[in-house]
Every structure is written in structure tokens, then in C-alpha cells.
Structure 1
């Protein structure tokens, strides 16, 4: 009966959603209230993803997976969150034509994941790979989101001044987003709520820096803004930083009031340990300052329970990551064996061809004894080409130098189109030499996804039309 209802629901959803464009389906995704989302919303998104895949709306399907991953993260199911992040790449939803919005959210979600694992370097790396591109878009929403994430990570490692710098940038662009001059942005509840949170974050960092006059300004602004949007997320953030501020100025009554609001929201809506640990720690510190032993004991035990559950979650997630790495390594070995087999056959075929060629060549020459048998000399250009290919496969630092000797006008022509960096010209050389994405990844010791992202960025910088193959474009560059 349940299966029949599920199929019926999917058919109804498919009929409804199939009448929409990809942009409209994306808007349906963004309109799903994240703060209160749970299993019901996940089923709705899953149905929407099936419709997107049916219509080959890959960007929409990828965003759907990332939205589900975000909801599972909020529900403290990190294993499922990781599973849905992984599906984006497993189903090959990312390619050179993928919209930057999808790449942006994928990196953001991965950054959250690595932060949970305690791998700060990798977490920062995920943001660094998209920061410049996000800033170049001029999109206020992307700019304030990524700067807010940088601020969060610097705050975590206690670099308060850097956190303040990025928080102020996030605050500035969140206001630009809300002003929405020229109706450039789509203003929905989730994005609007996120944009208002920047006031509370700024109040929080000023509280940490003991600049309480500045903190007061932004906390009051946050409390005022919180009334503009009926959203659990902004209520939690505002209450949390307001509670910290009032604790700092010794206003116990107000601190208790806001932190209790925060605690109730965390217990009912945010199962992720990050939310619960934060408010439990603040309440424990508040009652320690008051010397209330019963309350201290209560929140100490709550913290221990959260940390115990968190430890189990981290272990599960680490095991999942390890299993995924093992699968990827096994797949890579399988591909290497297949490639070796193909190369062996190719070499054997080439040797056979050379043998036959020499046989008939000598046979033909024997009829012309008056001709001198001069050994074949390899043309200079062919010799350089083979050397360039070998240097590329070895990822040798000399590769670009020898490549420029082989194609002396290549770099010059590229720089006429766009002021590329040396590393980008080197990457373009690999494409010009017709290496595939997998080959480039193998020779440069990077992931296939990283190569795809670089191709996307190069396509943008060189203004390569979306309907033109990037290899075709490079093949015409010197003609």
C-alpha cells in the first residue's frame, strides 16, 4: 500500500514539475524552508530530482542532492549527508558546462563536511578553489556567503581579526543583496534569512574582541531584523549571539532569556552537534559565573552526551570516507590495468606496422641499387613533440619551456585573449595537446573534478562559447 502511494505521489509530482523550466524547478528547491525541513521535504526534493534527471536538468538535480545533504547535516546524519554530496560526482552531474552556482554549493557543502571531520586545511582548500571566481561574479549573494564561511573558519581557529575582516565583507554584501537594486537577485525566504544573520555574526565577533559598544549596535540590529522574517534559523543565530553579548555585559536575565530560546530551537530543530554544543557551552559558562551547581551539572552532562554522540558520528563518517577512497583507488587501478592493456595492444600494432613498412621499403629499395641506403632521420619538430609529450606525462617543470619552443606563438595568442597566469597557460597546453580530463588528472596528480573545474574556469576566462568543444577551440587557436 505504501509503495503504491509512493508511486502515485511520484506520478502526480512528475506531471506537475514536468510543466516547469529548469530555472523554475531550481526556485522550487530554494523555496523549501531549510530550518524546519525534515523527511517530508527530503521526499519532495527526491521526487523533484527524478523529474530533473528525466529532463536532463543536471544542474537542478545536483542542487537537489546538495539540498538533501544540507538537511541531513542539520539532522546530524553525517553519513547520509556525505552520501548525497558524493552522488553529484558519481552521477557525472558536473562538467565543463555546469553553472557556477552548482560548483559553488558543492564546494561549500564539502567545506562543511571537512570542517566536521576536523580537516581544516582541506576545508579551507574547498573555499579557496572558488573564492576568486565567486568574487569575480559580482553576485552579492555568493560574495556574502563565502566571506561568511571564511569568517567562521578563522573564528574557529581563534584568529579574531581575520574573522572580523571577512564578517564585515559578508555584512556589506548581504545589505547589497537585500537592497536588490535593479531587481538583479531573486529574494526568497531562505536567502533573505541568511542575509540578516550577518548582523548577529558581527555582534558576536565584536563581543569576542571585547568591543562591546560596537557589539551592542549589531546585536540590537540583529534583534530588530529577526522580526522581519519568520524563520527558525535567524531566530537561533540572533538568540545565540544576543545571549553571548548579554552574558558579557553581565545582564544575566537577558542572557538566560536568549540562550533558553536558543536551547529550545537547537533541541527541536537542529540535531547537529555544532548547534547544540555551542548553546550548551554558553549556558554552562553562564551558570558557572553564577555558581549554580545543579545547572552546571545538567549542562556538563548534556555536553558529554553530545560529544559522545558526535564521536560516534565522526567515526562513522571517517569509515565512510575511507571506504570511498578505497573504492576510488580500486577503480583507478582497474582503469590503469585497462589502459596498460590498450597501450600494449597499440604498441604491438605499431611495431607490426613498422616491421611491415621496413620490409616493403627494403624490398622496394633492392630494386634500385644505384640509390644509397641512408638511415631515416627523425625530423626536428617531431623529436621536440615527443619530448614535450614525455615531459607533460612526467609533470616536469621543463614542460612549458619546451612546449613554447614547439609552439612559439601559443602563449602569445592566449594572452591576447585573456591575461592568464603561468599555471593556467600550462594547463591550456595540456588541452592543446589533446590530453583527456582523466589523463590530465593522472599526469598532474589531481582529481578529475579539479580538472573539470579548471576547464570550466578557463572556458569562462577565454570566453569560449558554451556550444563549442574546448578542444576544438584550442585546435583553431594557431590557425
Structure 2
């Protein structure tokens, strides 16, 4: 019965969503709850992906896969998270038309996964590949997210000042995103709550740098924001750093209160080792400072269970990654051999063609040695032509006048095709004299790009076929 209801729900939702544009379906994806997401949310995303596939909304399909990957990542199911991240490329969803937002989230998700595996240099490389492009977009949401991720990695490798720099940048741009001047950004619950998390993270960073006065500003701000934003992720992060702040002030009851909030959230929503281990470690340290032995033993055992479970999971995942790498290396070697074989055949074919061409060319040339070539007699002497070329190189105002004397019918034939301006006829004369783009740019004191643009405009005006060289077209003008 349940299976039939699920199928019925899928058909109803498919019909409903099929009436939407890709942008509308993306917004539906972003609106799906993240912090408390589980199997129901994944099923909903799957149904959206199927609709997007039917409509060939590739960007929407990719974003759906990445959101599922992020949910699995949050729940420490790394294998499935990698699986959905890899599907984006395996299904060829990345191409020259792909929206940068998809590429951004793909790199960000991979960075998060490699960070969890402890491969921090690989994690940083994922961010480095898109960092310049992110800044070029001038998108406050993208800029704060990538700096936030950079800060987390640098903090882990003990580059505290660098981490602080990126947290401050993330904090600055998260505020710009929330202000949303001129309605540049889409504001939804998930993104909004995410943007508020920069305050407690920045406060936590100041705590690690032993700057409690600076930390207090951002921790208090985070607590006030937490009262406005009723969201699990925001509550967890705020309570976690608030507990550390109060512990630094030796306010044990307040620190304990916030840590119990974190533990409750971690137990019910965040199965990730990072979240659970952090809470267990803080609680253990807190009770060590108060000398409560039973509590210390309890959280010490909890830590061992977390580490043991994570170790098994990491081993399984690393084995899967190693197998995948072996398969990719094997396929790469096969492709290399195949390409080498094709390249060798191509080179052999080219050499054979060149040999045959030279053979028949010499044979043809030997048959025509008895022919007498009658040289073309120019209308004026060679010295006049050299003078014309010199005037062109100097960009002399007399150039076009002397050119028309040398080629009296050129302008007349050109104007039959299209009523060009004097400056355009002068430009055409340079082309007729077979000057290259670079030479024309040099002699007329313009850029190569300008000359290319003028050539393109002339093609349109003179209706020169796209498959014909412009120099060939002009060479035939007086014939």
C-alpha cells in the first residue's frame, strides 16, 4: 500500500513540477530543509531530479545531486556523498553552457569531502581552481561561502591568522548578502541561516587566538541572531562557540547549558563525526575542569565509540576511493595507448601524403619545363608600387589617392557592391595589398582587435561568404 502511495505521489508531483521553469525548480530545491533533512527530503529531491531530466534541465539535475550529496555528507555517509558528487560528471552535466553556480557548488562539495578525509591540500586545490572566478562574479553569497570554507581548512592546519583573514571576509560578505541591496540575491531560509553562522565562527576564531574581547562581540551577536533565526544548524554552531566562550570565562553552568543544546542536536540531527566528536570533546574537557569523574568517563567512552565508528567508515571509503583511482588509472592507460596508436597512424598517413604530393608535384613540374611564363606587366613601374607601399606603411594621407591611380577601377568596383565610406575604402586597400592584420594595426596605429572588428564588419557589408578568405575575395575584385 505504501509503495502504491509513493508511486502516486511521484506522478502527482511530476505533473505539478513539470509545469515549472528550470529557475523555479531550482528555487524549490533550495527551499528544501537541510539541517533536519533525511530520507523524505532525499525522495523529494529525487522526484525533482526526474522532472528536470525529462525537461533536459541539466543545471537543476546537477544541483539536485549536489544537495543530496551534502545531506549524506552531513550525516557522515561519505560513500554516498561521493557517489552523488561523481554523478554530476559521469552524466556529463558539466559543459560550456553550465551555469557557474553548479560548478561552484561542485567544487565546494568536493572540498568539504576531501577535508573530512583529511586530504586538506586536495581540499584547498578544489577551492583554488574557482577562487578567481568567484571574485569576478562579485556575488556576495559565493564569496562568503568560499572564504568560510578556506578559513575552516586553514584553521585545521594551524594557519590561524590566515583562517582569521578568511573568516573576516566571509563575515563581511555574509552581511552584504543579507542586506541584499537592489534585490540582487535570492534570500531563502537555508541560505539566510547559513549566512548568520559567520558570526559564531569568527567569535570562535578570536577565542583560539586568545582575544576574548573581540570574541565577545561576535558571540553576543550570534546569540542575538539565534533568537531571530529558529534553525537547527544556527542553534548548534552558536551554542557550540558560546559554550567555549563561557568556559574561557569560567562560567561553567552557561557553558554546560550550551553544550547540552549541541549534544541534543548532534544526537538527533547531526550524525557527522565532526559535530559529535567536537561536542564530546568539549563536554569531556568541561567536566575535567570541574573534576566530575563519572561524566569524564562517560564522554571519554563516547569519544572512543565515535572514533572507532569513523575509522571503520573512513577505511571503507578509502578502499572504495582507491579502487576507483585504480580503475581510472587503468582506463587512462588504455586511453593513452589508444591515442598513441591513433597518433602514430595519423603521422604515418601525413608522411605518406607529403611524399605523394612531392612526388606528383615534381612529376608535373618536369612536364611543364618547356612552357614559357609571360610575366604580368603592371600599369605603372615598379618604383611607383614601392612608393605606394611606403605611403601605406607611413599611413600617409596621400595613400588612397596614389592607390586609386595605381588601381583606377578598385574603388569603382567596390562601391558597386556596397556604398562604403572613404575610411572603409582605405582599409580595403590595405587588405587588397595583402597586409596582415598585425601589419594593418601597426601602420594605422590601432589595435589588432580593432582591425579584426573592421574585417568582420566589412564581411557583413560586402556579403563575403563565411567560408571564403577575405584576402581571396579582394584579390578577385578586379578580375
- Give the shorter-chain TM-score range: 0.7 to 0.9
1:354-381 alpha-carbon deviations (Å, 9 max, x no partner): 454455445545646769xxxxxxxxxx
1:161-211 alpha-carbon deviations (Å, 9 max, x no partner): 222221111111111111111111111000110111111112211222222
Asked if 1:215 corresponds to 2:250, the answer is: no
1:254-283 alpha-carbon deviations (Å, 9 max, x no partner): 000000100110111000100011111111
Other-structure match for 2:342: 342
Other-structure match for 1:171: 171
Quick check: 2:437–2:448 contact (8 Å CA) kept in 1? no
- Cα displacement (A) at 1:337: 3.3
CA–CA distance in 1 between the matches of 2:50 and 2:116? Answer: 29
Relative contact order, higher structure (CA 8 A, sep 6+): 1
Quick check: 2:438–2:448 contact (8 Å CA) kept in 1? no
Other-structure match for 2:40: 40
Other-structure match for 1:77: 77
CA–CA distance in 1 between the matches of 2:448 and 2:36? Answer: 52
- Cα displacement (A) at 1:157: 1.9
CA–CA distance in 2 between the matches of 1:187 and 1:416? Answer: 45
Other-structure match for 1:195: 195
Asked if 1:49 corresponds to 2:45, the answer is: no
Other-structure match for 1:147: 147
1:101-138 alpha-carbon deviations (Å, 9 max, x no partner): 11111111111111111111111111112222212222
CA–CA distance in 2 between the matches of 1:347 and 1:172? Answer: 57
TM-aligned CA distance change 1:364 to 1:212, over 3 Å: closer
CA–CA distance in 2 between the matches of 1:416 and 1:361? Answer: 37
Asked if 1:225 corresponds to 2:225, the answer is: yes
Asked if 1:303 corresponds to 2:312, the answer is: no
SS of the residue 1:227 aligns to: helix
The alignment's C-alpha RMSD in Å is: 2.8
CA–CA distance in 1 between the matches of 2:246 and 2:358? Answer: 90
CA–CA distance in 1 between the matches of 2:282 and 2:252? Answer: 12
Further displaced range: 183-192 or 211-220: 211-220
- Cα displacement (A) at 1:48: 0.8
Asked if 1:136 corresponds to 2:107, the answer is: no
Q: Which runs of 5+ in 1 are unaligned?
A: 372-405, 418-471
Other-structure match for 1:110: 110
Other-structure match for 2:271: 271
Quick check: 2:74–2:270 contact (8 Å CA) kept in 1? yes
- After superposition, residues 58-73 of structure 1 pair within 5 angstroms as 58-73=58-73
TM-aligned CA distance change 1:242 to 1:347, over 3 Å: same
- Cα displacement (A) at 1:327: 2.2
- Cα displacement (A) at 1:304: 0.7
SS of the residue 2:76 aligns to: coil
TM-aligned CA distance change 1:357 to 1:116, over 3 Å: same
- Cα displacement (A) at 1:349: 3.7
SS of the residue 1:37 aligns to: coil
CA–CA distance in 2 between the matches of 1:63 and 1:120? Answer: 24
TM-aligned CA distance change 1:416 to 1:195, over 3 Å: farther
TM-aligned CA distance change 1:344 to 1:38, over 3 Å: same
CA–CA distance in 1 between the matches of 2:341 and 2:6? Answer: 47
CA–CA distance in 2 between the matches of 1:317 and 1:407? Answer: 57
- Cα displacement (A) at 1:214: 2.1
Other-structure match for 1:243: 243
Other-structure match for 1:158: 158
1:278-333 alpha-carbon deviations (Å, 9 max, x no partner): 11111111011111111111111111111111111211221222122222222223
Other-structure match for 1:126: 126
TM-aligned CA distance change 1:203 to 1:29, over 3 Å: same
Computing the radius of gyration from Cα coordinates, the structure with the larger value is 2
CA–CA distance in 2 between the matches of 1:340 and 1:206? Answer: 56
Other-structure match for 2:261: 261
SS of the residue 2:270 aligns to: coil
Other-structure match for 2:330: 330
Quick check: 2:65–2:88 contact (8 Å CA) kept in 1? yes
CA–CA distance in 2 between the matches of 1:331 and 1:321? Answer: 15
- Cα displacement (A) at 1:65: 0.7
- Cα displacement (A) at 1:227: 1.6
Further displaced range: 267-276 or 154-163: 154-163
Other-structure match for 2:415: none
